[in-house]
Amino acid sequence: MSKIRFASLTLIICIVVCLSQTSFSQVGAAEVGEVYIGGFPISIELLSDGPIVKSVTDDCFVDGRLKSGDVIKSVNGIKVGSRSDIVRLYNEDDINIPISLTVMRNNASVEIKTVPERDVCSGKLRLGFQTKDGISGLGTVTCYTADGKMYALGHPISDSDSTSDFVCRSGSVYKCDICGYQKPTTGKAGRLIGKCSENTPYATVTENSAFGLKGNVAVAETGEKYATLPRSEVKPGKASILTTIGGEPSFFDIEIVKAVRQNGASEKGLVIRVTDENLLRMTGGILQGMSGSPIIQDGRIAGALTHVLTNNPVRGYGVYIDWILK
């Protein structure tokens, strides 16, 4: 089973753009229980709350060992947010050696001391490890509101390189075009391939929640209003998803196989099966990047697509809209 998930900064789309935000003044309020439907793809850029260790190049650690997947939180007690912060502290003339690193490993704080080597040519201390500052990927907007709140993905973003939960320091999403896709193969999910279509952010990210990304839309816009369907009214049977395979978002038929009765917020409340012959012929089923595609039943938004079964890409899971908007 695979989340329709994210990889490191080198995969899918890699962009660096300054964040911007515009106030909301031209939009009328939607009725309570109504949202503007999404279904369009976004490129996502998130910065981690601390550099993520990709690899360790030098064995210079005297008290434990830095490991791939560690998230560096501080150097000698000083909080760091990026690799450049670490380099700056390492290059200070009065830095205390051994250097103490505080890292998050398996969601627990670990203290490590290191005696770094000096570069023969520059005389600067060598870090002895490679890091990255964030992750990027492709996903789908579920909905947005009249006051400029965006909801996307339906599940939290995780990083395959990190051993701890991904904590987002800041981030932006950009509208993008779907320029192709890879069909699933045995035991491996397929994926959408996209490219950024705009240079300015569609929204800034405020939270990487258990039920997807939340953010503030940069420029207020309107769309097609849909009422939300409470989870108590979602039932097994015919439904559809709104997603983008190429061009504009399109509706495709699905079946809600199971609607789990959940008293508390939880993922995978919906089990779905793709029944649309056109979608099956084009993509072979659910692809990574469709995460967040709204699920519609009886003309209302019931939830969002979140997972694909890697051994059966025709089937997947969804989450109730109740939890997304919570």
Instruction: Exactly one of 85, 155, 159, 240 is catalytic; name it.
Output: 155
C-alpha span between 28 and 194 (Å, rounded) = 32
Instruction: Exactly one of 162, 209, 291, 293 is catalytic; name it.
Output: 291
Instruction: Exactly one of 49, 133, 165, 276 is catalytic; name it.
Output: 276
* Residue 307 bears catalytic tag: no
C-alpha span between 285 and 277 (Å, rounded) = 10
Instruction: Tell me: cis bond preceding 98? Omega within 30 of 0 counts.
Output: yes
* Residue 23 bears catalytic tag: no
Contacts of 1 (CB under 8 A, 6+ apart): 307, 308, 309, 310
* Residue 253 bears catalytic tag: no
Q: Which of the residues are catalytic? A: 155, 276, 291
